[in-house]
Amino acid sequence: MSMEKAQSVAAAQQVDSKPAAVTQEFDKSEDKEPKFESNMVKKSLDEILGFSEEMYHLKEELVAFGIPMQTINVIVEHGFNGNEEQMAILLSTALSASEQSLGLGSIGKSDLEARVAALVVLEKDQAFARRVARQQGLNLQALNFLVQIVRQNPGDKGEKVVNEFIAYAMACDIPFEKVGAIVGEVGKQDTGSVLPNIPRKKKADTRSTLKDIARDAVLGIVISAFVLWFVI
């Protein structure tokens, strides 16, 4: 074998060694048991996703009543921040939009107020879940990106995007030396709910009202570690 050919083979073997090692590190084949039954990251993800799903359903119902999604989001934001005056103005605007869109089939004032109240409660609960997660030592930036990935990829729960992200990071020579330590810490974290076990009478009353409204309403509609914009 010539000297040049031997050097080429050696170089190729050296290039292949890193991907092979990293591939073994991140091997998630189906025949392997999951590393964790539960942990703070999973609990936080599940609870934040749960609030997001409830909000999505409620917002879609309001959109079906002819209220623009942007208007709904601004109303909820004002409610979250306690801006009652601005919220009242926008509620009136939303009622007008619904009347113009559906006429007699438009949403009623009490119906709209109940649904918005439920959305505000859910928004506050979600913000509280994130706050508790941060207090438990989680990186909110990474957690929020993971929430978005899973929400936008419900079919495989973000598996394809996350694997592509890891592959892109590998291609950019981003080191993974700290992954093992982080995984170890995750496994030690408390597995309890990120929300406290306290009665939430306001939420329960609001949802009960919504159930009554949904039962009588004519129109109802039922409705995915990491830098999201990098992979989009």
To the nearest 10°, report the CA torsion of 164, 167, 168, 170: 160
For the segment 181-199, what is each residue's pLDDT rounded down to a tens digit?
888 777 666 555 555 544 4
The span from the CA of 151 to the CA of 84, in Å, is 31
Contact 111, 95 (CB under 8 A): no
Tell me which of 38-47, 64-73, 97-106 is least confident. Answer: 38-47
What is the per-residue pLDDT for 178?
85
Structure tokens at 78: 């004002």
Q: Give the chain's mean pLDDT.
A: 76
Q: How many CB atoms lie within 10 A of CB 133?
A: 22
Single pTM value for the model: 0.64
Among candidate residues 59, 187, 188, 68, the one with its CA nearest the CA of residue 122: 59
Structure tokens at 56: 């999505």
What is the per-residue pLDDT for 192?
55
Helix axes 109-135, 69-81, angle to 10 degrees: 60
Helix axes 84-102, 69-81, angle to 10 degrees: 160
What is the per-residue pLDDT for 187?
64
For the segment 91-111, what is each residue's pLDDT rounded down to a tens digit?
999 999 999 999 999 999 999
Among candidate residues 119, 143, 178, the one with its CA nearest the CA of residue 40: 143
Contact 134, 115 (CB under 8 A): no
Enumerate the domain spans of the chain. 36-192+200-223+225-231
Contact 41, 28 (CB under 8 A): no
For the segment 112-169, what is each residue's pLDDT rounded down to a tens digit?
999 999 999 999 999 999 999 999 899 999 999 999 999 999 899 999 999 999 999 9
The span from the CA of 135 to the CA of 133, in Å, is 5
Contact 224, 157 (CB under 8 A): yes
The span from the CA of 22 to the CA of 164, in Å, is 14
Which ranges of 138-178 would DSSP assign to H, the alpha helix? Answer: 140-152, 159-171
CA distances to 25, 104, 118, 120 from 123, rounded to whole Å, are 38, 30, 9, 5
The span from the CA of 157 to the CA of 164, in Å, is 13
pLDDT-derived band at 4 (thresholds 50, 70, 90) equals low
Among candidate residues 155, 114, 142, the one with its CA nearest the CA of residue 48: 142
Residue for token pair 């073997």: 13
Q: Which residue has the higher pLDDT, 175 or 114?
A: 114
